[in-house]
Chains A and B, each alone.
Chain A
Amino acid sequence: GESVGLHLPTLSVQEGDNSIINCAYSNSASDYFIWYKQESGKGPQFIIDIRSNMDKRQGQRVTVLLNKTVKHLSLQIAATQPGDSAVYFCAENRGNTDKLIFGTGTRLQVFP
């Protein structure tokens, strides 16, 4: 029979535009969050993290926003480039373990 697989949400943006990727996390006890980037054929790669005592953190061209009230995390990429094309995952950690639980991912496509 037909298998039902994950349908990755896809965000398509034009080169140079800003991208916003969203993530809803599951557990209000989670207190540490990470965004990962996964390019085709490679393992996930750390981009930026944020602790629950913060609501915003900035890196180079990337910003993570955390809204604990609605359990929502977002990744903003400024001036998106073709090299940003990848699948982006949020991951959450509950402070009493070393486990990272990954979200389902969002595919970012950058077109010229």
Chain B
Amino acid sequence: DAGVIQSPRHEVTEMGQEVTLRCKPISGHNSLFWYRQTMMRGLELLIYFNNNVPIDDSGMPEDRFSAKMPNASFSTLKIQPSEPRDSAVYFCASSLTVLGGYTFGSGTRLTVV
């Protein structure tokens, strides 16, 4: 298995532009998580899905952020409009059960200038 696949690895965009981050979870995993990592706040859970349904989005910072999971093999995290304070590394992770932990992707480093 190729693991959790995120794209792009790096994204540089101008303030005000729309940004879409993509994630392909491990086949067979039924839970998917989006985390954001910054020096200010560490690793924060933004949202998670179970069987493609959003279960908890209490970590989503504001309405500019949205996430979708149209099927079991794909999820997106969208920021519109982007702001410099959104600059961070965004991780996607998937799991079959929390026991044994999640498998993380390599992350997308987002820079908003």
Contact = CB atoms under 8 A, between A and B. Distances in A.
B39 A98 contact: no
B42 A104 contact: yes
Given A34-B101, A43-B106, A45-B104, A99 B43 contact: no
B100 A100 contact: no
Contacts of B97: 98
A25 interface: no
Nearest to B55: A98
Chain A: interface size category: 20 to 34
A111 interface: no
Query: Considering residues B4, B43, B103, B107, which has the most beta carbons from chain A within 10 angstroms of its beta carbon?
Result: B43
Contact of B98 (A32, A41, A45): A32
Contacts of A91: 101
Chain B: interface size category: 20 to 34
Interface in B49-99: 50, 55-56, 91, 93, 95, 97-99
A57 B91 CA distance: 28
A67 B105 CA distance: 31
Given A98-B48, A98-B55, A43 B43 contact: no
Interface string A23-55: 000000000101010000111111001000000
B2 interface: no
Interface of B: 4, 31, 33, 35, 38-43, 45, 48, 50, 55-56, 91, 93, 95, 97-107
